[in-house]
Amino acid sequence: MQLHFTKDVLPDSVSTDFQNLNKFNEQQFHRLIEILCQFLLEPKETERFMQHLTEFAGEHGMSAGPLRNLMKSVLLVPQGLNEEKAAHFAQQWGEHYAALSRLAVGQTLMVNQLVDMEWKFGVTVGTSEIQKVGNVFLQLKLVVRKGNSTENVYMELTLPQFYNFLHEMERAKASMECFS
């Protein structure tokens, strides 16, 4: 992984440290960025930086040592970086982190994920038992991902069943919206 602004190559340990950064929740993360930015804007204030880090570690029940190492990995900038570049770096990193998070969530395991749905409906005109019928039927094909391949599930619904299906899916959606 190359950094955009230095073209240096990151050592492996940094990659792990970045993953550890993912473990902070949004609030914690923002606070860390704040601390970092403050330091970057005034790189001579190393003591204050260390103090902030130690306080942060204490508030969130983590040990200061690993946190300091983590911050060292992040600070792959030569000393004397000017204000503008420091702010730019912090902003880039913030954006990069958001994209990484989204990617990580998107890769979260999904069991039997629904990939596609096709349907057709029509009227049964007659059968071998009854010459003239006239029932409406709905046929659904669900394409489900099972591991690396997909499986097709076919089913038929009567009209009342279809309306019930629609009703239940609307209830499920309402339930999901409660939680976001």
87 touching another protein, by CB under 8 A = no
Main-chain dihedrals φ then ψ at residue 135, nearest 5 degrees? -95, 140
Which single residue is written with the structure tokens 């038929």? 156
Residue 53 Cβ, how far from another protein at the closest point, in Å?
A: 21
Structure tokens at 131: 């010459």
Site string for another protein, 4-43 (x = CB under 8 A): ------------------xx-x------------------
**Residues 122-151 within binding reach of another protein (CB under 8 A):** 124, 127-133, 135-139, 142, 144
Structure tokens at 1: 């992984």
Structure tokens at 85: 């570049």
State how far the Cα of 16 lies from the Cα of 119, in Å rounded to an integer: 47
Residue 107 Cβ, how far from another protein at the closest point, in Å?
A: 5
Candidate list 111, 147, 148, 149; residue touching another protein; CB under 8 A: 111
Please report, for residues 6, 17, 69, the alpha-carbon distance to residue 133 in angstroms, rounded to integers and kept in the order given: 75, 69, 77
Q: Report DSSP state, residue 131.
A: S
Contacting positions for another protein (CB under 8 A): 22-23, 25, 101, 104-105, 107-114, 117, 119, 121, 124, 127-133, 135-139, 142, 144, 153-159, 161-166, 168-173, 175-176, 179-180
